[in-house]
Amino acid sequence: MSQVLDSPLHDFRNSFGGQVITAGDADYDTARAVWNGDIDRHPAVIARCADTADVSSAIAFARAQGLEISVRGGGHNFSGAAVADGALMIDLSLLRQVRVDPETRRVRCGGGTTGADLDSATQDHGLAVTMGTISHTGVAGLSLGGGFGWLTNKMGLSCDNLISAEVALADGRVVRASESEHADLLWALKGGGGNFGVVTEFEFRVEPVGPMINFALLFWETDRRADALRVARDALEKLPKNAGGLLAAGLNAPPEPFVPEQYHFAPGCAVIIAGFGTAEEHARLVDPLRAALPPLFELVSLIPYVGLQQMLDASAIWGSHAYEKALHLDGMPDEVITTLAEYLPRKKSPLSFLPIFPLGGAYSEVDEDATAFGGSRGARWVLNIGAFSPDPAVLAEDRIWVRELWEALRPYASNSGGYVNFMAEYEADRVRTAYGPAKYERLAQIKTCYDPENVFHLNANIQPG
């Protein structure tokens, strides 16, 4: 672990508005913990910032002390990039204020806001912006890498709705990136991750959503998994703009009240459809699916939008030991379904599964070069293979399962682009491949402008040009 001299640390503590935490402080272990329980790292200093000035002073202190800097938004990244041994962690968990302007349909939120914070404030006005499917994920990491969710078809990615951002730069400046100021930086923040500075405030466009939405979950047992995957694919490929979907392949039925008790933990596949239009529109999506292959059980109901946003939280509790790899697919041929059906029963943990998102609608309408987002707008599916277990030994077995299934699916993957937020490991060549040569080069030039010394490198790193 790096040593920090007592006297500068003392001065830093005294001048800092938030909280400076080091080993030996009572809350050191909770403050260094991230969502992925498999990550156990010991930063030299945790700077829990109270405002933007604190962020700048933490950057300056770390640089003066020769400490690497990691940035914690929601702390949810699979890779544990928010925390590093011997580094200074800029912890934004206090910067969670959300201000909604219903007149202009805009929302501003702090750099440590979670999806749940944002959803709850925007829904007070019947508004929303695309957030992820687990509500304790950080808005920052999610939207800086892209941001998929139930609203992707309707509104595009979270980053597609980013209007402006306040950014604390490596050299001590604080700038606002918007269409009119630092437009290159705004472009880079829409998918280029945490490479360019620390975002202390985001401003997003919001749209009317909910407060109630049409929900459907249909579940088929594992013996019918190949048929279930086929009917699910056919239904999700046709989703209109006003609906979101998820194919949960290899999911074990949760012990929820709507699941008949004899099926609790039964392995299988589920389709979830969230309809943002009328009940009739929703029925036109769900009825043919049910008719094509009657499910083992189902839940079809009107639910609050915030309930939808939190529905899967229990499947990804804080402290889960986790690993994942992802692929983009331009289509889902039967060969992919055969491969999935072959590999699904081989997972060891009942919690491991594949969340597979269909892509279309507003996502596909965004021009390829309009944002820095790595995944191609031509892709039709983003397929994650997730290993989750409270037991590290079982995770180790499912990590192998993830890698083997990923290799088996690679021949069918889209060549163009990938999603940096679904990487549990940041190999330099995969980051380059994720963006493709042209986007990577453009990002590298912007990186040279805003962070020429690569101070912010504990991430899916873009090397300065």
- Using CB under 6 A as the binding rule, whether residue 145 contacts ligand FAD is answered as yes
Looking at 21-29, 138-146, 288-296, 440-448, which segment touches ligand FAD (CB under 6 A)?
138-146
134 or 243, CB closer to ligand FAD?
Answer: 134
Pick the binder of ligand FAD from 37, 43, 146, 417 (CB under 6 A).
146
Q: At what angle do helices 6-15 and 52-65 cross, to 10 degrees?
A: 170
Rounded least distance, CB 399 to ligand FAD, Å: 15
| Residues 387-446 close enough to bind ligand FAD by CB under 6 A | 421
Q: Is the bond into 211 cis (omega within 30 degrees of 0)? A: yes
Rounded least distance, CB 8 to ligand FAD, Å: 24
Q: Where do runs of H (alpha helix) occur along 190-278?
A: 225-237
Rounded least distance, CB 438 to ligand FAD, Å: 23
149 or 275, CB closer to ligand FAD?
Answer: 149
How long a stretch of residues is the chain? 465
| Residues 16-45 close enough to bind ligand FAD by CB under 6 A | 34-35
Whether 130 contacts 339, CB under 8 Å: no
Q: At what angle do helices 225-237 and 279-292 cross, to 10 degrees?
A: 150
- Coil/strand/helix, residue 435: helix
Q: Where do runs of H (alpha helix) occur along 261-369?
A: 279-292, 305-310, 334-343, 362-365
- Using CB under 6 A as the binding rule, whether residue 141 contacts ligand FAD is answered as yes
Total residues interacting with ligand FAD, rule: CB under 6 A: 36
| Residues 289-318 close enough to bind ligand FAD by CB under 6 A | 316
In whole angstroms, what separates CA 334 from the centre of its chain? 28
Whether 276 contacts 213, CB under 8 Å: yes
Pick the closest to residue 372 from 460, 246, 452, 241 (CA basis).
460
- Using CB under 6 A as the binding rule, whether residue 144 contacts ligand FAD is answered as yes
Whether 454 contacts 464, CB under 8 Å: yes
| CB-based closest residue to ligand FAD | 141
Rounded least distance, CB 165 to ligand FAD, Å: 8
- Using CB under 6 A as the binding rule, whether residue 254 contacts ligand FAD is answered as no
Rounded least distance, CB 237 to ligand FAD, Å: 19
Rounded least distance, CB 456 to ligand FAD, Å: 7
Pick the binder of ligand FAD from 18, 37, 43, 111 (CB under 6 A).
111
- Using CB under 6 A as the binding rule, whether residue 385 contacts ligand FAD is answered as no
Distance CA 63, CA 3 (A): 14
Pick the binder of ligand FAD from 61, 148, 204, 323 (CB under 6 A).
148
Rounded least distance, CB 217 to ligand FAD, Å: 16
Cα Rg of the chain, angstroms: 22
Rounded least distance, CB 263 to ligand FAD, Å: 24
- Coil/strand/helix, residue 94: coil
Those residues with Cβ within 8 angstroms of residue 46's Cβ, 6 or more apart along the chain or in another chain: 19, 20, 21, 22, 28, 31, 32, 88, 89, 91
- What are phi and psi for residue 333, nearest 5 degrees? -65, 165
Q: Which residues bind ligand FAD (CB under 6 A)?
A: 34-35, 71-78, 81-82, 92, 111, 132-134, 137-138, 140-142, 144-149, 193-194, 198-199, 316, 421, 458-459
